[in-house]
Structure 1
């Protein structure tokens, strides 16, 4: 289990989320909300992808046993309560809420949950991460599920709560791979999907909300809106203009340079999550030039992180130079491994590492997308630094859906550029899993990560996380660039939306 103490520091980094802009207007029922997204999600199977866009859309259709409240503590969703955990930390007994309906009209039982968790263990990268430590998943009656572990595993509840590579619950008979009909228990159900036009979700009239108040992703989920339409708008400048014009109720993932322009607009207002997370370069450790640790270290050595951040975000109001995976003040902050290994920006030193590695001059394939414009800007600057160090560069600019498909094939890339929010549990970081694209699988990774996830005492886990971060810098499976803030925009007619890393629209309403 995640210690409550382990997440206290997270609250300071989620202050923008703690105040939901309800205003003084009573919630209105009805209306259609249009949400502009960075593109078309590659799938509507939330288990099959770690793409944030998949989680943003599908969290309205599917639900998990647990989720996170506004201070990033695990809280029940489809589970009735937090699990009963055995004294040895190896058995979790989970009672389910009764009377929960799927969009198909079936009532959820333990059989559906067991089948879903087994599918998650087979299909999802984070499910596979947990599967190695799970002995069995079984029903203990119609409304109870028992998970037996081979050894204590601290991140289990966080993994079950996460909406990314998510352990969602589906009907036992609707679990084909690839997924056919996306049928969940969520407040909205899929009505229609037109590729590159929209994904139309409509209110599920059989939805069973939790009682009480809304609480982050937890608590009550009210269905004020009749319909939510997710509309792909890949070009960032088009998203900016759409926000200024009030064309959509919510516009996600805007370039931060649009902030000043949005501040005084009549139709829309900026939504800033500060700090949001960090851009990251993920390296292919399985094959190709970057399978060499010396080549990976040469790449990191060549990069001037401040120049990359300045190109991506402009003003220091929107970024911070920081090599620690978690920033100062966070519960998981440590500087272990960072000194002398971050923001080096020394192409000559990188050349020496390349010579040691026997680099053959084969182009380094950098996979990026302009749908996240800051990714592309960082790729351009990184390419120039790497060329100075003696690398040949093949910069491949594709749409985000194509990137998420290509990164699953180790023959197609060497570096891909992405970003991550500051996650409440470090084990949720996808690159720590040897099943995630990048495929970091070394003895040092196994020993440090296994020790970290197997320890349930928070005080001990802090020191063990420091060892993981040291190993990340020593072996360089991915490169953190720095910290950044994220920007979105919402209509001034939209209420009930909280600033959150994965925006959600239950509890949202349109004002008259």
Structure 2
């Protein structure tokens, strides 16, 4: 043991310091292999996963997500005070929070940041259309007045609406200054993004829960290295070049597990796979035929073909997974083992004329392709004719925008903090899920002001989704990453984060 480490250990023991506080003294570096180079560090402009992963260490939002994906305070001092009519939100700010440039967080920084977010971010623009005013209430609170109730407000304030000093705000950011546990030191495109511990960081209180709770900047430095090739990430992890490697192929699990330098990490319910149906044109404009598709399919067989091992997937009819606040069995129908005979009866009753279903998938996501192969077999067993069209992902995303070109396409999504922000159930997403009963159910949700009312409204929305059959949820998939032996405190989350993580000695 080095002398300096021995002294720290002795002092900590004498003071009764916790192991987490002791770990604060680390001079270690965490080297993180990411899936690629971030296009920007301006997360308001480009809220992609890679940008969110890095930026969450630099910037913070008023609210963040706990383990149930409920929005809880981060820079806010508590949950908002909401007026009886549900239109006015008063949000107090935590005191004593500093930016990386040494300035103090105040209400002016929040209003300036949120105004920028509402001007340039896609979800921010949605919120802006509903905001009557955004004002400061003294130095340590802001007030948002809405034109109409908007239940997803806190969820949208929990992602990408980062707070920065008002003096640093510009159309194009030149300085990336936040309140997070790490500050940006240097970025060399295609080489690394280097973050260093912010010594004056003020952590929120509370038990660690997903992104919520206490945050400790234990590592002195975090270095994010873009490594687009998955096999290179695997080799670098095993060789000791990386302390963490993101998004590894499931086929690498055993190899990493067998190494003496690293261990694989499974993040449960990283996302869900779905088959989206065209409700605007073509064969599946008939609800009865969409329901026949649901009855015909076997989700377990499709997910097993896609992921080979049940360690890497789960089958669950609820659109949200069990750990989520939004998990519910409400309305579940036509989901299970696949019943070709029952599906055939629905086909006959709907007057199916033998027109082939155009099923689009891509091999760039190999699991999409494998799901498509099994789906084709089950649909044909029920009596459908199927035209399986295998195209590259760019072609698929272009073609799915044209309702004349397809009947079903396969995709995947993450689980957002608010159910009404799921792409696949919005009116304008390819598939064009528009129905009167959905509109009524969503309107009820938007009026909700409590978690209990939102949950009841979401139960009703899921019930409508199963009846309208705009999509077929195939199943939930897990993500594989890897962490070097000796690195402690890492807990998997959708956007991997490295506060509370101790580097290897």
1:271 and 2:262 matched: no
Aligned position for 1:35: 32
Aligned position for 1:63: 60
Aligned position for 1:448: 441
Report the 3-state secondary structure (helix = DSSP H, G, I; strand = E; otherwise coil) of the residue aligned with 2:391.
strand
Aligned position for 1:16: none
Distance 2:79 2:446 in 1: 20
Distance 1:443 1:199 in 2: 50
Aligned position for 1:338: 332
Q: CA deviation at 1:369?
A: 3.6
Between 501-510 and 181-190, report the one with greater CA deviation: 181-190
Given candidates 457, 476, 479, the residue that maps to 2:472 is 479
Q: CA deviation at 1:65?
A: 0.5
Given candidates 49, 53, 66, the residue that maps to 1:52 is 49
Aligned position for 2:494: 501
Q: CA deviation at 1:249?
A: 0.8
Q: CA deviation at 1:33?
A: 1.8
Aligned position for 1:91: 88
Given candidates 146, 156, 163, the residue that maps to 2:153 is 156
Written as runs of structure 1 = structure 2, the 5 A alignment for 1:405-424 is 410=401, 415=409, 417-421=411-415
Q: Quick one: structure 1 residues 382 and 253, their matched pair in 2 at CA, closer, same or farther if it must change by over 3 Å?
A: farther
Q: Quick one: structure 1 residues 153 and 191, their matched pair in 2 at CA, closer, same or farther if it must change by over 3 Å?
A: same
Cα deviation digits, residues 381-412 of structure 1 (max 9, x gap): 456767884444443335xxx799x5799359
Q: Quick one: structure 1 residues 211 and 135, their matched pair in 2 at CA, closer, same or farther if it must change by over 3 Å?
A: closer
Q: CA deviation at 1:253?
A: 2.3
Between 310-319 and 432-441, report the one with greater CA deviation: 432-441
Q: Quick one: structure 1 residues 334 and 81, their matched pair in 2 at CA, closer, same or farther if it must change by over 3 Å?
A: closer
Distance 2:353 2:163 in 1: 49
Q: CA deviation at 1:504?
A: 0.4
Written as runs of structure 1 = structure 2, the 5 A alignment for 1:126-165 is 126-161=123-158, 163=159
Written as runs of structure 1 = structure 2, the 5 A alignment for 1:339-354 is 339-340=333-334, 344=338, 346=340, 349=344, 352=347
Q: CA deviation at 1:339?
A: 1.8
Cα deviation digits, residues 325-353 of structure 1 (max 9, x gap): 13468653433343225664759859959
Q: Quick one: structure 1 residues 506 and 391, their matched pair in 2 at CA, closer, same or farther if it must change by over 3 Å?
A: same
Between 40-49 and 26-35, report the one with greater CA deviation: 40-49
- Structure possessing the higher radius of gyration over alpha carbons: 2
Aligned position for 1:80: 77
Cα deviation digits, residues 68-105 of structure 1 (max 9, x gap): 34565533222233222223332211122345444556
Report the 3-state secondary structure (helix = DSSP H, G, I; strand = E; otherwise coil) of the residue aligned with 2:414.
strand
Which sections of structure 1, spanning at least 5 residues, go unmatched?
Answer: 1-21
Aligned position for 1:307: 301
Distance 1:452 1:208 in 2: 37
Written as runs of structure 1 = structure 2, the 5 A alignment for 1:95-110 is 95-98=92-95, 100-103=97-100, 107-110=104-107
Is residue 204–residue 213 contact of structure 2 (8 Å, CA) maintained in 1?
Answer: yes
Q: How many residues align?
A: 479
Written as runs of structure 1 = structure 2, the 5 A alignment for 1:374-413 is 374-375=367-368, 377-379=370-372, 381-382=374-375, 389-398=384-393, 410=401
Q: CA deviation at 1:144?
A: 1.6
Aligned position for 2:243: 249
Distance 1:26 1:200 in 2: 23
Q: CA deviation at 1:24?
A: 11
What RMSD in Å do the two structures reach over aligned CA positions? 4.2
Q: Quick one: structure 1 residues 155 and 184, their matched pair in 2 at CA, closer, same or farther if it must change by over 3 Å?
A: same
Aligned position for 1:489: 482
Distance 1:58 1:386 in 2: 44
Given candidates 355, 361, 375, the residue that maps to 1:366 is 361
Q: Quick one: structure 1 residues 236 and 374, their matched pair in 2 at CA, closer, same or farther if it must change by over 3 Å?
A: farther
Which sections of structure 2, spanning at least 5 residues, go unmatched?
Answer: 1-18
Q: CA deviation at 1:59?
A: 1.1
Distance 1:333 1:484 in 2: 16
Is residue 68–residue 324 contact of structure 2 (8 Å, CA) maintained in 1?
Answer: no
Is residue 368–residue 403 contact of structure 1 (8 Å, CA) maintained in 2?
Answer: no
Q: CA deviation at 1:260?
A: 4.0
Aligned position for 1:225: 219
1:201 and 2:198 matched: no
Aligned position for 1:8: none
Cα deviation digits, residues 181-230 of structure 1 (max 9, x gap): 544332334445455x3441322647532254662323343323333233
Report the 3-state secondary structure (helix = DSSP H, G, I; strand = E; otherwise coil) of the residue aligned with 1:510.
coil
Q: Quick one: structure 1 residues 41 and 473, their matched pair in 2 at CA, closer, same or farther if it must change by over 3 Å?
A: farther
Aligned position for 2:115: 118
Given candidates 311, 323, 329, the residue that maps to 2:317 is 323
Q: TM-score, normalised by structure 1?
A: 0.76
Between 35-44 and 357-366, report the one with greater CA deviation: 357-366
Is residue 28–residue 504 contact of structure 2 (8 Å, CA) maintained in 1?
Answer: no
Distance 1:236 1:172 in 2: 39
Aligned position for 1:17: none
Distance 1:62 1:133 in 2: 25
Q: TM-score, normalised by structure 2?
A: 0.77
